Structure 1
Amino acid sequence: MVTLGKRLWGECAGTAWLVFVGCGSTVLDSSGALQGSSALEMSLAFGLAFATASYAFGKISGAHFNPAVTIGFTAAQRFPVRDLLPYIAAQIVGATLAAAFLAYIASGRPGFELGASNFAANGFGAHSPADYPLHCALIVEFVLSFVFVTACLLVANRKEIAPLAPLVIGACLMLAYLVSIPVTNGAINPARSTAAAFFVGNWALDQLWLFWAAPFSGALAAGVLFSCLNGGAEPSASFADGRSEAG
């Protein structure tokens, strides 16, 4: 049994890696339209970052790296309620540390101004990469969060594919980002959205509510549906190896 402290460390480190690689792929590259990278490059960065972090920390923490995933597993009765808030706090801390590191590195580039940069923050309306309005952003984030969390739950329930689970979920995340980047700059993860908004401030903080409300709603719907269809399933916090790490 892995202690809660070690699991929180795993979530913090894994989320930090996810945000550093995913957001860094666009923040640190000044060559493209989406503040440095194409949607494909950014999506691939998030997907590979998730897969590698899952292989590294999956057996420690269960490899959530996303408050929405933790909410979904809790709603599906596959994660203990007592660990919900500590996990979310660890994920936000990890994401914020990664964003701070990115801000420090990016500030060394000539001409870079954090206040003038969107810093890979999520937004809608005038702050959507393709000017999509609020209702489009809300629908996309809800649906993709529902699909992503459902995929995580289904993979966790398939112990025979445990060795490939991080790759499957990483590919799912990559596809979700491919769809969502033009609309919201790719969220699906409230910790990732919060970390970027902290450094952008102003409009990013004003619009942050959507990037908590939509992923949480989608995750809750996925968790409740999974629980109804798989009542009495053995609790599990991990889709990295198909075994329970949370007890």
Structure 2
Amino acid sequence: MNKYVAEFIGTMILVFFGTGTAVVTSGLTAGIAGSFVGVMAIALAFGLTIVAGAYAIGHISGCHVNPAVSLGVFMAGRMDAKDFGGYVIAQIIGAFAGTGLLQFIVSSSNTLKGLGANGYGTASAVGLNMGGAFVVETFLTFVFVLVILGVTSSEKTSSIAGIVIGATLTMVHLIGIPLTGTSVNPARSLSPAVFLGGEALSQVWLFIVAPLVGAAIAAIVHRGWFSNDED
């Protein structure tokens, strides 16, 4: 149960700080320079939250805080089906708790709006279509999960895993934010979409399916070519 509680808390914090930074910066930045600052701030918010979470709850649950990560770990043979199901449920509930807290803050403001939902087409900052968004989310999640499986596969690198994973999440957000808002995490995408409804909810399927596909491919590649004796 401690593992599931840790995943709940970790995902709640990730969603609140990550999407919350997206909400706050969207109201404070304008123009090219402002957009750059916004992208950097959001990317760092997600990355630094993972670093903090890794050292706060990593020793309890591994700090997956992401159903796609849990799927990759499960397919890599590092967790059983029971824990996989428990992790995903805890992560989804935690995501809704984080978005619920953010919704309360947004509703208490006269200027803040949105909840950091992902999107494509008119909901994408660059007008990326559905096919492009699917490829982006699949590839970014593939890279993210492949790094996680690699850096946590050996005791030699596990001590720096939190920093490496946080830096990688920052990296994928730097390119992903203008394209789709960057999901790579079905729980992070589902909760804002449900709260907002409308277009965000109609598009959320992509940000659930594509990250899971990317994570599955990463697990297959890792087990097939990159695993070692300690893995």
TM-score when normalising by structure 1 = 0.87
Match of 2:134 among 113, 133, 138: 138
Which residue does 2:201 correspond to in 1? 205
Match of 1:168 among 164, 169, 175: 164
1:232 offset after TM fit, Å? 8.3
- Deviation per CA, 1:159-182: give whole Å up to 9, x if none: 112221101100000000111101
- Deviation per CA, 1:29-57: give whole Å up to 9, x if none: 4212599x611110000000010011000
Change (3 A) 1:227 1:22: same
1:145 corresponds to which letter in structure 2? T
Distance 1:231 1:55 in 2: 24
Structure 2 residue matching 1:198: 3-state secondary structure:
helix
Which residue does 1:238 correspond to in 2? none
Which residue does 2:93 correspond to in 1? 93
1:231 offset after TM fit, Å? 6.5
- Deviation per CA, 1:64-91: give whole Å up to 9, x if none: 0100000011111112122111110100
Which residue does 2:186 correspond to in 1? 190
Distance 1:186 1:72 in 2: 18
1:184 corresponds to which letter in structure 2? T
1:70 corresponds to which letter in structure 2? S
Distance 2:160 2:182 in 1: 24
Which residue does 1:229 correspond to in 2? 225
Match of 1:31 among 28, 31, 35: 28
Which residue does 1:40 correspond to in 2? 40
> 1:144-163 counterparts in 2 under 5 A?
144-163=140-159
1:78·1:233 contact (CA, 8 Å) conserved in 2? Answer: no
Change (3 A) 1:177 1:131: same
1:187·1:193 contact (CA, 8 Å) conserved in 2? Answer: yes
Distance 1:225 1:40 in 2: 30
Structure 1 residue matching 2:127: 3-state secondary structure:
coil
1:25 corresponds to which letter in structure 2? T
Structure 1 residue matching 2:128: 3-state secondary structure:
coil
2:154·2:230 contact (CA, 8 Å) conserved in 1? Answer: no
1:78·1:234 contact (CA, 8 Å) conserved in 2? Answer: no
Change (3 A) 1:199 1:162: same
Structure 1 residue matching 2:159: 3-state secondary structure:
helix
Distance 1:202 1:22 in 2: 22
2:102·2:115 contact (CA, 8 Å) conserved in 1? Answer: no
Match of 1:17 among 13, 18, 37: 13
Distance 2:229 2:90 in 1: 26
TM-score when normalising by structure 2 = 0.93
5+ long unaligned stretches in structure 1: 236-247
- Deviation per CA, 1:198-236: give whole Å up to 9, x if none: 11111111101100110000100111221223568666x
1:26 offset after TM fit, Å? 1.9
Percentage of identical aligned residues: 37
Structure number with higher helix proportion: 2
Distance 1:87 1:234 in 2: 24
1:12 corresponds to which letter in structure 2? F
How many equivalent residue pairs? 227
1:111 offset after TM fit, Å? 4.2
Distance 2:86 2:152 in 1: 21
Structure 1 residue matching 2:51: 3-state secondary structure:
helix
Distance 1:109 1:18 in 2: 21
